[in-house]
Amino acid sequence: MMPGPGRSGLILEEPLLWEKGKEGRTAFSMPEQDVPECSGEVDRELLGNGPDFPDLSEMDIVRHYTRLSTWNFGIDTGMYPLGSCTMKYNPKINEKMAATPGIAASHPLLADELSQGALQVMFELQTFLATLTGMDAVSLQPAAGAQGEMAGMLVFASYFRKKGEKRNKILIPDTAHGTNPASAALCGFKPVQVKSGADGILDPKIVAELMDEETVGIMLTNPNTLGLFEESIREITAIVHGKGGLVYGDGANMNAVMGLVDFKRCGIDIMHLNLHKTFSTPHGGGGPGAGPVCVVEELEPFLPVPRIVKGRDSYHLEVDCPDSIGRLHAFFGNFGVLVRAYSYILSMGAENLKKASQLAVLNANYVRESLRDVLHLAYDKPCMHECVFSDKKQQEHKISTLDMAKRLIDHGYHPPTIYFPLVVPGAIMIEPTETENKDDLDQFITVFKDVAREAREDGERLRQSPMHSKVRRLDETLAARSPCLTG
Ligand X SMILES: *Cc1c(COP(=O)(O)O)cnc(C)c1O
The distance of closest approach from Cβ of residue 260 to ligand X in the complex, given in angstroms and rounded to an integer, is 17
> Among 252, 360, 388, 445, which residue interacts with ligand X (rule: CB under 6 A)?
252
Q: Report whether 227 contacts 387 (CB < 8 A).
A: yes
Nearer to ligand X, 153 or 252 (CB): 252
Site for ligand X in 74-103 (CB under 6 A): 84
The distance of closest approach from Cβ of residue 217 to ligand X in the complex, given in angstroms and rounded to an integer, is 17
Q: Which residue number places its CB atom closest to ligand X?
A: 145
Q: Does 385 sit near ligand X (CB under 6 A)?
A: no
144 secondary structure, DSSP code: S
How many residues touch ligand X (CB under 6 A)?
14
The distance of closest approach from Cβ of residue 253 to ligand X in the complex, given in angstroms and rounded to an integer, is 6
CB neighbours of residue 52 within 10 Å: 7
Nearer to ligand X, 31 or 286 (CB): 286
Tell me the window of 43-51, 185-193, 248-256, 369-377 that interacts with ligand X (CB under 6 A): 248-256
Q: Does 301 sit near ligand X (CB under 6 A)?
A: no
183 secondary structure, DSSP code: H
Q: For residue 235, with 0-12 CB atoms within 10 Å meaning exposed, 13-18 middle and 19 or more buried, which class applies?
A: middle
Site for ligand X in 262-281 (CB under 6 A): 274
DSSP letters along 436-461, please? S-HHHHHHHHHHHHHHHHHHHH-HHH
Nearer to ligand X, 88 or 177 (CB): 177
Give, in order, the Cα–Cα distances in Å from 329 to each of 142, 283, 304, 325.
8, 20, 10, 12
Interatomic CA distance for residues 242 and 456, integer angstroms: 53
Tell me the window of 11-19, 250-258, 380-388, 422-430 that interacts with ligand X (CB under 6 A): 250-258
DSSP letters along 15-63, please? --HHHH--TT--S--PPPP-SPPP-SPP-HHHH-----PPP--HHHHHH
Interatomic CA distance for residues 226 and 173, integer angstroms: 12
Nearer to ligand X, 94 or 175 (CB): 175
What x/- string results for residues 165 through 204 when contact with ligand X is judged by CB under 6 A? ------------x-x-------------------------
Q: Report whether 184 contacts 153 (CB < 8 A).
A: yes
> Among 90, 141, 222, 225, which residue interacts with ligand X (rule: CB under 6 A)?
225
Q: Does 118 sit near ligand X (CB under 6 A)?
A: no
Nearer to ligand X, 274 or 390 (CB): 274
The distance of closest approach from Cβ of residue 179 to ligand X in the complex, given in angstroms and rounded to an integer, is 5
Phi, then psi, of 154 in degrees rounded to 5: -70, -35
The distance of closest approach from Cβ of residue 360 to ligand X in the complex, given in angstroms and rounded to an integer, is 14
Buried b vs exposed e over 438-455: b needs ≥16 C-beta within 10 Å?
Answer: eeebebbbebbebbbebb
Q: Does 291 sit near ligand X (CB under 6 A)?
A: yes
Q: Report whether 236 contacts 189 (CB < 8 A).
A: no
Site for ligand X in 138-157 (CB under 6 A): 144-146
Q: Does 289 sit near ligand X (CB under 6 A)?
A: yes
The distance of closest approach from Cβ of residue 251 to ligand X in the complex, given in angstroms and rounded to an integer, is 8
For residue 376, give the H/E element and its range: strand 376-377
Sign of the Cα torsion 84, 85, 91, 95 reads: positive
The distance of closest approach from Cβ of residue 291 to ligand X in the complex, given in angstroms and rounded to an integer, is 5
The distance of closest approach from Cβ of residue 93 to ligand X in the complex, given in angstroms and rounded to an integer, is 23
Interatomic CA distance for residues 87 and 307, integer angstroms: 30
The distance of closest approach from Cβ of residue 211 to ligand X in the complex, given in angstroms and rounded to an integer, is 22
Q: Does 221 sit near ligand X (CB under 6 A)?
A: yes
Q: Which residues sit at the interface with ligand X, rule CB under 6 A?
A: 84, 144-146, 177, 179, 221, 225, 250, 252-253, 274, 289, 291
